[in-house]
A and B are shown apart, each in its own frame.
Chain A
Amino acid sequence: MTDISPAAITDCVRTVLDRDLADDTDIFTAGVDSLAVLRCRALLKERTGVKVPGHVFFEGRTPARIADLIGGTHAGR
């Protein structure tokens, strides 16, 4: 089980986009693109050591849902 909280995702997106957003904000509506997704993934890996695949971002769309998917992916292994 991997412990990545929605707050950790929100923090990364906030760092990358340099703007505030809530756990249930659609990050793609908020201006995240595929380059920003890669930045977030690199930052998450640096901060938590977890390598998150890109599709988790594209499917999850909100920090809360992305955190759910990451937990689910790792819990299933």
Chain B
Amino acid sequence: MTDTWHELLHGRQWSSASTVWVEDGTEYSWAQVGRLAAAVEASVRAHGPARVVVIRSRHKLGCFAGQLGAWRAGSVAVADDHTLTDREFDRVRPDLTLTVSVGAHPSVEPAGRPARRPRPQPLPDDVVAVNHTSGSTGSRKAVAVSRGNLLALFACRDLDVPVPGRLTAGSFATPTYDGWWFDTWRTVAAGGRVVCLPHVNDDVFAWPGLARTYGIGRLLLPAAVLATVVEVLPEAVADIPWLFSGGEQFRVSTYRQARQAGLRPTFVNLYGPTEATFATHHHRLPEDLTAPAVPIGRPLDGCRQVLRRPDDGPPDARELVVNGPFVCLGYLDDGVLTHRFRDEDGQPSYRTGDLVRADGDGNLVFAGRLDGQVKVNGMRVDTAALEQRVTALPRVRDCRVVQHERHTVAFVRTDPATLGDPATRSRIETVVQDFSSAIGISLVDRYPVRAGGKVDVPTLMDHYRTTDKAEET
């Protein structure tokens, strides 16, 4: 295992003149990336000793080469694309911060020196990186990622895509999200090439050209971004044969719209908590999807699952617990490991807090959050099941149950022509009333989304108050 790591960091590939990285219209060879990493390594050694090094760069390549350099120097590498805040730095307590510039004149500069206090307790030797949780359930937590975690991810056969020759992967995830490991390091560890795609808000129109020029074999997108692109600009991903979705639920509506737009890629739905490196489960969508929900599927090879009966929750749902080499060491706070992800026997284990059910084929289907169970008038409502049943109705594209202040509303998305159709509304009402008569219904032809891609709940609720609720009363 250590040999594999050593080979990745120091192998002869880093003297090759062939391209390993494409970003902002520039191609970089393995040797160029290797030289930038050598400069980072030298800087860490000159300003060290430093157990935890923050690599700050506006370029993805700066973060990537910085990680390589910091790892060569034996440090924990924390990539920062200028989005981490003092809260996150307080958790990891860096000993050194380096700013890496890429371009005509690459440079590596120390960026101020944090006050050196001895770390109350040393970090375990095998910690090499940090994952940051998305922070949707509070502030972003720092997760200690080990060498073994990354090597297990690189070795996982279930994440391979069959492409002729070496793989070229599109890179969308920024360096502080766990998709980074899949997009960049897993690709490079397999001898592949990384092509950075501009953000959707930047030059998304450049995607097709990049996909064709470099033959992008796979692309991972957050589910919300994939939904947006498929709906509005399907040609942006038309030439990419493998599309991976992660981060949140892959909605049936995304699949249907992709098919309507003539897209015929292989879709893979990935699932996994940030506390388990990158992903633990996968489901390859069939050619014809008829199920009401896209399953999260089965454990990736190397991962083991335990389905735990929750103390509270729907009787047939189980809490998903993941075990095995993807499970990270634990949370970091004030620079030390504060909470380890282990079961009673001391084995790596993480309780996800996600509820699942097995479908007829043995695939797991997401059934809501253990801590996010919605109560309506004191009654527990299985919103995931409600959403899935409504989405399965004819002429319905999607359904999302939203609880805001005292109202619980099922927002049902249909095509604009169906909004006023009484038969559709009546079918929806029948299903929703099965769950609770206190849940409001609102038909919309689109979900307003905020810049980050999340559904804009206050705007939806305003819509409900001004239209549907006004009609009811």
Residues of chain A whose beta carbon lies under 8 Å from any beta carbon of chain B? 18, 31, 33-35, 37-39, 41-42, 45, 51, 53-55, 58
Contact = CB atoms under 8 A, between A and B. Distances in A.
Contacts of A35: 228, 231-232, 446, 448-449
A54 B199 CA distance: 9
B352 to A, nearest CB: 29
Nearest to A18: B416
Interface string B420-456: 0000000000000000000000000010111101001
A15 to B, nearest CB: 13
Contacts of B453: 34
B232 A34 contact: no
B203 interface: yes
B33 to A, nearest CB: 28
A18 B419 CA distance: 15
Contacts of B203: 51, 53
A51 B236 CA distance: 13
Given A51-B205, A53-B202, A58 B232 contact: no
B231 A54 contact: no
B451 A38 contact: no
Interface in B196-219: 199-205
Contacts of A34: 200-201, 228, 449-451, 453
Contacts of A45: 205
Most buried by B among A33, A34, A39, A54: A34
A51 B207 CA distance: 12
Q: Do most interface residues of chain A lie in helix, strand or loop, or is the interface mixed?
A: helix
Contact of A54 (B202, B449, B450): B202
Interface residues of B, number: 21
Contacts of B232: 35, 38-39, 42
Contacts of B446: 35
A42 B204 CA distance: 10
B17 interface: no
Contacts of B416: 18
B46 to A, nearest CB: 38
Interface string B229-261: 101110000000000000000000000000000
B228 A38 contact: yes
B202 A33 contact: no
Contacts of B201: 34, 37, 53-55, 58
A38 B202 contact: no
12 contacts: A33-B448, A33-B449, A34-B200, A35-B448, A35-B449, A38-B233, A41-B204, A45-B205, A51-B205, A53-B203, A54-B201, A54-B202
A31 B233 CA distance: 20
Interface string B446-468: 10111101001001000000000
B415 to A, nearest CB: 13
Given A34-B201, A38-B233, A58-B201, 8 more contacts: A34-B450, A34-B453, A38-B228, A45-B205, A51-B205, A54-B200, A54-B201, A54-B204
Contacts of A55: 201-202
Nearest to B227: A35
Nearest to A45: B205
A31 B202 CA distance: 21
Contacts of A42: 232-233
Contacts of A31: 448, 459
Contacts of A33: 448-450, 456, 459
Nearest to A28: B451
Contacts of B231: 35
Interface string B300-316: 00000000000000000
Q: Can you list the 8 inter-chain pairs with the closest CB atoms, starting with the nearest?
A: A54-B201, A51-B205, A33-B448, A38-B232, A34-B451, A33-B449, A39-B232, A35-B449
Interface in B177-199: 199
Contacts of B451: 34, 58
Contacts of A51: 203, 205
A58 to B, nearest CB: 7
Contacts of A39: 232
A70 B18 CA distance: 38
B465 to A, nearest CB: 15
Nearest to B455: A33
Contacts of A54: 199-202, 204
A48 to B, nearest CB: 13
A47 to B, nearest CB: 14
Contacts of B456: 33
A60 B450 CA distance: 17
Contacts of A38: 200, 204, 228-229, 232-233
A34 B225 CA distance: 10
A55 B231 CA distance: 20
A19 B233 CA distance: 22
